[in-house]
Amino acid sequence: MIVIKDLHKSYKMGSNVLHVLKGINFNVEEGEMVAIMGSSGSGKSTLLNIVGMLDLLDTGSYTLDGVPIVNLNETKAAKYRNKFLGFIFQSFNLINYKTALENVALPLYYQRVPKKERDEKAMQYLTKVGLANWATHLPSELSGGQKQRVAIARALAAQPKVLLADEPTGALDSTTSYEVMQLLQEINDEGKTLLVVTHEEDIAKMCKRIVQLKDGVIIEDKKVNQVRASEYV
C-alpha cells in the first residue's frame, strides 16, 4: 500500500538547512495500524505529511497503492489525496460555522456527490461514530471527543484507503483519548489502514506496530500485541 525508500527531507531556514528525515525506509501493508512515535521535533508530522501528499520529499521514492508519487501537478495530487487518504488532526480542523453533518458532508461535496446523497452518507458516518443526535450542532456545541468523532466521520466519508492521524488524542483527556482509540481500532478491525502519530506510549500500544523515529531515522520498527482500548473505557 505504502512503499517509501531512502526518503530524505530538509527545510531551508535562511542560510541554514535542517535535515529532518535522513533516509527513511518504511512500508505499510493494507489493514495495518501503525504508530509513529518519537519526541517532539523528530520528524513525525513531516513524515505523515509526505505520506499524505501535503508535503514533498527531496530525494528517495514514495509509492502509494502502486502509484509513484512524483512530479504530480496539484490537480493530480488532489485527486489521489481525495481518493486514497483521509486526515485526522490534533486540533480537529472542523469548520466552525458548519454543523456536524455539513462538516462530514464536505469531502463529498468536493467529490461532486449530489446533495441528498451526501447528506445521507454523512448521516450514515455520523451514526457510525455515535453522533446521529448531534448532526445539527455546531463544533462549538460539541466536546473535544465529539469534535474528533466528527473529524473521523469526515475522514471516512470519502472512503479513503488509508487514514492518517497526527496526534489524534493530543488535545483530549485520557478517558476521551481511549474512546477515540477504541473507534479507530474498530475502523481498523473493518480493514482500513491506519497511521497514527503519537508521542504517548499507551496510545502507541493500541496500534499493531510501533515505528520509532529519532534524529531523522527509524531506530525501531516492531509488531506489538495490540492493547484493546475497550478495556479502558
The three cell numbers locating residue 229: 482500548
Q: Pairing between strand 209-214 and 162-166?
A: unpaired
Residue 160, contacted partner among ligand ADP, Mg ion, none, CB below 5-8 A by kind:
none
CA–CA separation, 71 and 44 (whole Å):
23
CB of 38 or CB of 139, closer to ligand ADP: 38
The three cell numbers of residue 152 are 473521523
CB of 92 to ligand ADP, least distance (A): 17
Residue with smaller CB distance to ligand ADP, 40 or 75: 40
Of 222, 161, 231, nearest to 191 by C-alpha is 161
How many residues in the chain? 233
**Contacting residues toward ligand ADP, per CB under 6 A:** 11, 13, 18, 20, 38, 40-46
Residue 43 binding result from Mg ion, ligand ADP, none, given CB thresholds of 5 to 8 Å by partner type = ligand ADP
Nearer to Mg ion, 56 or 72 (CB): 56
Q: Rounded to the nearest whole angstrom, what is the least distance from the CB of residue 58 to ligand ADP in the complex?
A: 13
Terminal Cα-to-Cα distance of the chain (whole angstroms): 32
From the list 45, 146, 188, 198, which residue makes contact with Mg ion (rule: CB under 5 A)? 45
Going by their DSSP bridges, the two strands 16-28 and 59-64 should be labelled as unpaired
Which DSSP category does 135 fall into?
Answer: T
**Residue 75: which of ligand ADP, Mg ion, none does it interact with, CB under 5 to 8 A by kind?**
none
Q: Are strands 193-197 and 33-37 parallel, antiparallel or unpaired?
A: parallel
Q: Which entry of Mg ion, ligand ADP, none binds 198, CB below 5 to 8 A by partner kind? A: none
52 binds, among ligand ADP, Mg ion, none (CB under 5 to 8 A by kind): none
Q: How far is the CB of 19 from Mg ion (least distance, A)?
A: 17
Give yes or no for a contact between 63 and 47, defined as CB atoms under 8 angstroms apart. no
Which single residue is written with the C-alpha cell 484507503? 161
Q: Which is nearer to Mg ion, 38 or 160 (CB)?
A: 38
Could you list the residues that contact Mg ion (CB under 5 A)?
45
